[in-house]
Amino acid sequence: MDAIPTYRVMDKEGKVLVPEEEPKVTEEFATKIYKDMVTLNTMDLILYEAQRQGRISFYMTNYGEEAFISCGAALDPSDVIFGQYRESGILLYRGFTLDEFMSQCYSNEKDHGKGRQMPVHYGSKKLNFQTISSPLATQIPHASGAAYALKRAGKKNCVMCFFGDGAASEGDFHAALNFAATMQCPVIFFCRNNGFAISTPADEQYKGDGIASRGIGYGIDTIRVDGNDVWAVYNVTKAARQLAVDEHRPVLIEALTYRVGHHSTSDDSSAYRSKKEAETWMRYDNPITRLRKWLHNKGWWNDETETKYRADIRKEILKSFSKAEKLHKPSLTELFNDVYDKPTPNLIAQRKELKEIIQKYPANYPLADFKNGGEDL
């Protein structure tokens, strides 16, 4: 059997391969996507470095996977998103502010998650982006369930769910696809196939024709796309959305890309692949460069706007970064809140117990780092 083909719109040089596939977008629309890609990349560089300096505890970069921002552009803002952890770009596109990113990474009092989760575990009710959790693939069946609920509510919306090639080995992935197919859920499954699950290369992760072939097995409309091609990703997401919303058909998209960065700041990928391999990839094919060349060809972007935007956004990110660094950690009382809708008797008793210990031994705890010095526990 032939391999499932890969849908592309532009080549590595940003040249359109099939003119009728080029999306009819405005300058403003296209440059917003590009600017967000550059912002994401700049933010990654700064926060990665901040982790190396011990200023934040952890970070995961999106290097090489910036093109997925265009998924955000193809969706309606009220469509629900379930991410894995490398989808910061879509949040950025939807309007998550630099301050919101920085506050989460700094676990400060303005973090939506109240400092409880590791950096990059973003979430925003306002932006219909469900909060990230570290376990892999657990979000995929959630997406099927949420999509079924949207359908029942008669909404003209879909759910989009992101995960990696590694996560597709978990049972949750298979259950989710089968549920979505049998219950005709308006959901788009988007596999970011970047070639690695931490150190494990794709050829040790699965056999057969990639993740896409699994969708076909479950009776789901499936397409494979060049994940470094912003317009290809945009087009397939848009078409998938239409199938999901209008016909209640789930869709699987397998986007082929390459994880240029380490898995996370806890990982040193030189232990299992050569540094050269990643560098070569970056030079050979970079989604940001591709779109920039496309914009150049259109006359919508030039070297001057490039230099200016990069300098401006870097300044803005650093400003937001130092602002977040200066803020207090959340109030200590947040340790006990939100386990349930209301504190239960055991939690009330434990809060009191901690309060007494802190009052007795204040010097043993870093109280000054927290909002109100721990007074409101």
Task: Tell me which residues are annotated as active site.
Answer: 49, 134, 263-264
Cα distances (Å, whole numbers) of residue 279 to 59, 64, 68, 284: 20, 11, 20, 8
> Residue type at 140?
I
Q: Is the CB of 143 or the CB of 244 nearer to another protein?
A: 143
> Residue type at 126?
K
Shortest separation between residue 203's beta carbon and another protein, angstroms: 10
CA dist 144 and 251 (Å) reads 11
Listed residue (164, 168, 167) closest to 227, CA to CA: 164
Q: Is the CB of 275 or the CB of 360 nearer to another protein?
A: 360
Q: Is the CB of 134 or the CB of 372 nearer to another protein?
A: 134
* Interface contacts to another protein, rule CB under 8 A: 51-54, 57-58, 107, 115-118, 121, 133-136, 166-167, 169-172, 197-200, 204-206, 265-268, 270-272, 329-330, 332, 334-336, 339, 344, 346-347, 350, 354, 357-358, 360-361, 364-366
DSSP 131: P
Q: Is the CB of 177 or the CB of 232 nearer to another protein?
A: 177
Shortest separation between residue 352's beta carbon and another protein, angstroms: 11
Q: Is the CB of 309 or the CB of 365 nearer to another protein?
A: 365
Shortest separation between residue 124's beta carbon and another protein, angstroms: 18
Shortest separation between residue 228's beta carbon and another protein, angstroms: 23
CA dist 42 and 37 (Å) reads 9
Q: Where are the alpha helices (DSSP H) in the chain?
A: 27-52, 69-74, 88-94, 98-105, 139-152, 171-182, 202-205, 212-217, 230-247, 275-284, 287-298, 303-326, 345-360
The C-alpha torsion from 335 through 336 and 338 to 343, rounded to 10°, is -170
Listed residue (358, 356, 352) closest to 370, CA to CA: 358
Shortest separation between residue 188's beta carbon and another protein, angstroms: 22
CA dist 36 and 21 (Å) reads 23
Shortest separation between residue 169's beta carbon and another protein, angstroms: 4
Q: Structure tokens of 276? A: 């050269």
The two beta strands, 200-201 and 221-226, are: unpaired
